[in-house]
Structure 1
Amino acid sequence: MTVFCNQLINTRTFFFICLILVWLSSVYISSISLTADPRVVFEMFALTSVAFIGITSCLVATDWTERELRIFVDVYILSNVIAAVIGVLGFVAHNPDLTWADRPRAFLDDPDMFGVFLVPGILGSLFMIAEKRRRILFSAALLLLSVAVFLSFSRAAIVSAALWSGIYLGILNRHQLLRATLSSLAFLVPLVVVVLLFAVLNDTVSHMLSGRFTVAEEYDLGHFGRYNRYLLAIPMILDHPFGIGLLQIENYFPEPIHNVWIACFLYFGWIGGLAWTLLLILSGMQAWNTWKQSRNGLCLMIFFGWLSIISCSMLHEGERWRFMWLLTGVLWGLNPRNFVAIPRPAHESRRIIAARKPAGRATPIVS
């Protein structure tokens, strides 16, 4: 975005940037009258920064080939492993700076954000194992990330990890489903053993096992519960076409709306909600077309990683998740032409075939 680089701008990236700027404009329009509150100013700055993470990652990924995308996935998995180690150690040590409500969060905002952050790393590890690249190393990473997601006790993250990993694993091994099933069962054995050890040695785990794994917690039910707040938000959305603004939800409900799609309509108005809806639909279409044209497994892995995050954001305040914007930008930036093998000219293919023939035989001369 500067005059010092030869940045590639195509129709797709230009439209993505415009869509993000429209969404950001709705954030400012809805909250500009509330800037006397320093918390609102901070939230506006935070949302601006995460949105520009998406724009930057989109621009960076425009000229990526499989090599650069593979490096990105490796680094993402490494960052997940570092976060998982910090979170698990903080959980074991009961470190208040690394936990929230006795659940690990590492240096992220909360345990739910921590758990969702790790799910694309699980998908990336599955891809690397299927590609037979350092299988022992990535199997260890897969086990660590799975344990960390479980210890986050985020219902959305755990269900997302199980659902999308199962679908993705089935696609990766669609020609060897029986073998994939047996491998999955073999992986579950050490995972269950580790979880049981935590449950026996840590009172928090045993308590969470009995309380967290339910369809609805106490705060999900009731008139102002999470699920009923979705219904209560509908008349408020209709009455506030420009949105109620940032942090104003606390004047109406005891907790945030915990649904990024409804929140965009409620907080930022109809324009913000429509921009977000369009962003979700077009992101899915963009990811599908990229994979369909390239047939590259890494592109499919990015798509599933993005889906795992978006599905969780429907139960949380996901508009603040930096990694969600990161993967969204990468998803829009990937150019399928950079991942399609360039066919060799016919005369070059004949020359290669002729050169590969064994010595001693008559080899036709190819001009």
Structure 2
Amino acid sequence: MSSIGADNADLRAQSRGFALAVLRSKAGRLLDILVGFWIFSGGFVLFEPSPYELTFLAVLPVAIFAGMGLYRSTFGLFAILVGFTPFALIAVFQVRFTPLDEALIFTIVTIFLLLTSYFIANYLAEDTTRRTRLVMTAYTAAAVLVALVGALAYLGVIPGADLFVLYGRAKGTFKDPNVFGPFLVLPAMFALQRVLLLKGRAALIAGAIYTVLFVGVFASFSRAAWGHFALSSLMVLVLVFWLEGAARDKVRIMIMSLVGLVMLGVALGGLLSIPAVSSLFEQRAAGQAYDQGETGRFGRQGYAFDLALEHPWGIGPKEFRNLKIAEDPHNVYAAVLHVYGWGGGFFYYMLVILTLWRGFSALARPSPYRLIMIPLISTFTMLAGESAIIDSDHWRHYFLIAGMIWGISTAIRNSPRTKAPREQMVI
């Protein structure tokens, strides 16, 4: 080949490489837009598959074309996904009462949600601060919107209020108040951290967001969500005070905590001054009859574990309510064992255990990203505990938070930095 021909071939190769780089850059920008929309859509789950799943179908191919990296330290999530899938699919064919297509859709959604965890882990492992800010901005916008809709619908001051209320409790744009309430917790924890560490306008806006989300959680009248919100808030407060607060910050954190408690008390008092709210609060705060007895919540959980022991391959989705007791056990640790069998239950347990381990071990390492991890692990720890009294295996935000913990812990492991300006790292 002549030198002119070789030069032309080099130019064409360089041109193709440049064009591909430009296309990947544009795909990367499109990916950020789609991810923001995908996260926002997680606030609207009235049916399955939900907009969250459908939007992710657009996110995934764009991520592949954009050349999004896959990180070795997130491989554990991928292994859980691969290990869980065959057991879950085998369990589908164990159903006796549930239509096979319903059982299959339920299981595919679970597998899909595990895939979203793996995706978000790798997405946040790179360009971590900017991408986490994008994710949490979209999540917070959705949470504030659905909290306002739920609270205003509960008070009956918006048209079509009945669409957003169930059993006299706010459910917002979810199927159940017990999902609506916990969905609001993570953005509230990021807002609380901003209140504790920032000043001026940023702290005031964060305080307003925290208050709106608090009212939304209260209006759900979910006792588990109330406890989740309170304990996660306490955990954020303790971790920020212990790990991130300088001496001057600690005084301010204590003062802000006291002021915040007073303001929340005033807000709660205002809500309880409404007779209908006060009556429902007294009813929900008291012990519930459906928790007691052989067919109560805890009796059902014991029966679910017995079923799991008798059926190592599982009984399949939605079968439990067709057997001895008409209601579900409301314990995800019992549910995954009898639904997906011993193998599926094992991999689900590994998801919970390894996510908690990744989160707490990351807190032990000084890093600028630790400020991002504090609200995440504070929320997920209480979610893991709450799952012992409720079925959380199809909560979109549960799998999102698990994946975020893996992504942020990967960034902590890979970054040599131990410090960065706080204003840049507080999300």
Structure 1 match to 2:20: none
CA distance in 2, matches of 1:130, 1:179: 8
Q: What is the aligned partner in structure 1 of residue 343 from structure 2?
A: 271
Task: Please give the residue correspondences for 1:100-179 in structure 2 after superposition, counting only pairs within 5 Å.
Answer: 100-132=166-198, 134-174=202-242, 175=247, 179=252
Tell me, in whole angstroms, the C-alpha distance in 2 between the residues paired with 1:75 and 1:291: 25
Partner of 2:257: 184
- Contact between 1:147 and 1:191, CA under 8 Å: does it hold in 2? no
Report if the CA contact (8 A) 1:170-1:180 is conserved.
no
SS in 2 for 1:96: helix
CA distance in 1 between counterparts of 2:123 and 2:324 reads 41
**Higher mean C-alpha displacement, 285-294 vs 272-281:** 285-294
AA aligned opposite 1:91: Y
Distance 1:99 1:20 in 2: 35
The answer to whether structure 1 residue 61 and structure 2 residue 124 are counterparts is yes
**Deviation larger for 24-33 or 234-243:** 24-33
1:21 and 1:337 map into 2 onto residues whose CA distance is 24
- The verdict on how the C-alpha distance between 1:160 and 1:339 changes in structure 2, with shifts beyond 3 A counting, is farther
Farther off after superposition, 283-292 or 216-225: 283-292
**Superposed CA offset, 1:182-239 (max 9, x none):** 4323223332333333333351x1222211113x411110111111222222321111
Deviations 1:26-64 (CA, angstroms, capped at 9, x unpaired): 221111354744432332233233223222212312213
Deviations 1:137-175 (A, max 9, x none): 000111111111112111111112111211221221245
Tell whether 2:257 aligns with 1:194: no
Tell me if structure 1 keeps the 8 A contact 2:292–2:299.
yes
1:222 maps to what in 2? Answer: 293
Cα separation, 2, equivalents of 1:14 and 1:260: 24
Contact 1:118 1:149 in 2 (8 A): yes
In the alignment, which residue of structure 2 is the partner of 1:353? none
TM-superposition CA deviations, 1:262-321 (whole Å, max 9, x none): 111111110011111111111111112333334321122222122232222221110000
Greater Cα shift, 30-39 or 304-313: 30-39
Residue of structure 2 in register with 1:309 after alignment = 383
- SS of alignment partner, residue 246 of structure 1: coil
Q: Deviations over 1:303-356 (max 9, x none)?
A: 21222322222211100000111111111123214554289xxxxxxxxxxxxx
1:323 matched to which residue of 2?
Answer: 397
1:117–1:309: 8 Å Cα contact kept in structure 2? no
CA–CA distance in structure 2, aligned partners of residues 218 and 178 of structure 1? 45
Identity %: 24
Q: Against the structure 1 CA distance between its residues 178 and 5, is the aligned structure 2 distance closer, same or farther, given a 3 Å change threshold? A: closer
Q: Which residue in the other structure is 1:286 paired with?
A: 358
Cα distance in 2, alignment partners of residues 189 and 197 from structure 1: 12
State the one-letter code of the partner of 1:141.
Answer: I
| More contact order relative to length (CA 8 Å, sep ≥ 6) | 1
Q: Following the alignment from structure 1 to structure 2, what is the Cα–Cα distance between the partners of residues 202 and 310?
A: 34
* SS of match in other structure, 2:155: helix
TM-score with structure 2 setting the length = 0.74
Q: Structure 2 CA distance, aligned partners of 1:12 and 1:192?
A: 43
Separation in 2 of the partners of 1:50 and 1:90? 29
Q: 1:11 and 2:72 equivalent?
A: yes
| Residue equivalent to 2:319 | 248
Distance 1:130 1:229, change over 3 A: same
Q: 1:24 to 1:238 in 2, by over 3 A?
A: same
Q: Distance in 2 between matches of 1:188 and 1:151?
A: 18
Amino acid corresponding to residue 198 of structure 1 in structure 2 = L
Assess if the C-alpha contact under 8 Å between 2:336 and 2:345 holds in 1.
Answer: yes
Cα distance 1:262–1:146, how it changes in 2: closer, same or farther (>3 A)?
same
Asked if 2 retains the 8 angstrom alpha-carbon contact of 1:242 and 1:268, the reply is yes
Provide TM-score, normalisation by structure 1.
Answer: 0.85
Number of residue equivalences: 341
Paired with 2:377 and 2:311, the residues of 1 have a C-alpha distance of: 34
1:203-214 counterparts in 2 under 5 A? 203=276, 205-214=277-286
Q: Secondary structure at the match of 2:93?
A: helix
Check 1:87–1:189 CA distance in 2 against 1; reply closer, same or farther (3 A cut). Answer: same
Quote the Cα distance in structure 2 between the aligned partners of 1:252 and 1:285.
Answer: 37
CA distance in 1, matches of 2:99, 2:332: 25
- Seen in structure 2, the aligned counterparts of structure 1 residues 341 and 12 have a Cα distance that, compared at 3 Å, is closer
Structure 1: give runs of 5+ residues left out of the alignment: 344-367
Partner Cα distance (2:275, 2:106) in 1:
37
